[in-house]
Amino acid sequence: MAIQVRHINKSFGATPVLRDVSIDVKPGSLTALLGPSGGGKSTLLRVIAGLEQPDSGTVVINGVDATNLSPQRRNVGFVFQHYAAFKHMTVYDNVAFGLQIRKRPKAEIRSRVKELLHLVHLEQFATRRPAQLSGGQRQRMALARALAVEPQVLLLDEPFGALDAQVRRELRSWLRRLHDEVHVTTVFVTHDQEEAIEVADTIVVLADGIVEQAGAPHDLYDNPANPFVMRFLGPVTEIDGELVRPHDLELSTSDDQKCGPQATVTRIVRLGFEERVEMLLSGQETWAQVTRGTAHRLALSPGSTVYVKKVDDP
């Protein structure tokens, strides 16, 4: 295992933030720590980096017990949510910092920094200051700076949290491609389930300082361990007290087959390709997600009566 976290407990004052947390991160994987804010995911990342000291438990990085190592001895790359760019240095000097601290030969530093700036598409910005870069460029500079020292693991704290939606989506797929190129074991923190599912190959769901579930994205989506994970990973609605995904509901207007309970349509919302059908089912609000074609075929409108059936394992 690249990272083994065992029985970590951490409190800030009287408030427990991590409670007996244990996770494994496979070498070369891209793991997301997913959870609501205040769930302890950033603290766990900082414990792995050595920026926070756990109250108890151990952190093993590539087989070495790192629990009592200072951050500068762990050889981890850390990308901060707000980049923590060295404001008084140029982009080049930011990226070169870790190599200069390690007293590498000048020529080696120059070629390595050049290579990294190429990797993050910032070659022409080498002499700029961080203040002259956009948010996305600053983020990529921070990433290059962390990668420069060839870290054993790369840790990213809400890497896209401070960016607008458009840049966010671009950087997301770029990070995925970068990871496929560089292959460094990566752990990133996010509160956005869509981001976690799209980018990560493993997801660890953390809430209230406890690991709710860990596994592959589709596994967590299809077989959530508990209602919390199910709610957090995707849209849910309730039928007869049971949690279901709204796209797993089949609607029909004829009751000739066994079609399940009857409901009354209250509203139809068009969301481009899909339509969101809101219904009242024995006094309870529920909704189904259907394609535009289905909605058209059933000729649904507010007031229509429909029969709702759950599709098992599509």
Partner 1 sequence: MIKHALRWTALLYLFFLLVLPVALIAWRTFGDGIAPFIESLSSPEALHAFQITFVVALWAVAINTAFGVGMAILLARHSFPGKRLLNAAIDLPLAVSPVVVGLALVLVYGRFAPVGGWLESLGLQVIFSTPGMVLATVFVSLPLVVRAVEPVLNELGTEQEQAAHTLGAGPWPTFLRITVPGIRAALAYGVVLCLARALGEYGAIAVVSGRLVGQTQTLTLFVEERFQNFREGDAFAAATALALIAVITLLVTKLLHPKHRSMDSR
Interface positions with partner 1 (CB under 8 A): 49-51, 70-78, 80, 82, 84-88, 97-98, 101-102, 142, 145-146, 148-149
CB 75, min distance to partner 1, A: 7
CB 162, min distance to partner 1, A: 13
Pick 72 or 305: Cβ nearer partner 1 = 72
CB 73, min distance to partner 1, A: 8
If we measure between CA atoms, which residue out of 45, 54, 30 comes closest to residue 176?
30
CB 172, min distance to partner 1, A: 23
3-state helix, strand, coil in the chain (%, to 5): 35, 30, 35
Which residue has tokens 């500068």?
Answer: 72
CB 195, min distance to partner 1, A: 22
Pick 45 or 295: Cβ nearer partner 1 = 45
CB 152, min distance to partner 1, A: 12
Strand partners, 238: 243
CA-to-CA distance for 251 and 294, rounded, in angstroms? 9
Contact status, residue 251 vs residue 235, Cβ threshold 8 Å: no
Which residue has tokens 């990433």?
Answer: 143
Pick 26 or 102: Cβ nearer partner 1 = 102
Pick 94 or 286: Cβ nearer partner 1 = 94
Contact status, residue 186 vs residue 153, Cβ threshold 8 Å: yes
Strand 274-281 to 262-271 pairing: antiparallel
Pick 130 or 217: Cβ nearer partner 1 = 130
Pick 15 or 166: Cβ nearer partner 1 = 15
Structure tokens at 233: 């990973």
Structure tokens at 150: 């060839």
Q: Which residues contact 30 (CB under 8 A, 6 or more apart)?
A: 176, 179, 186, 188, 199, 200, 201, 202
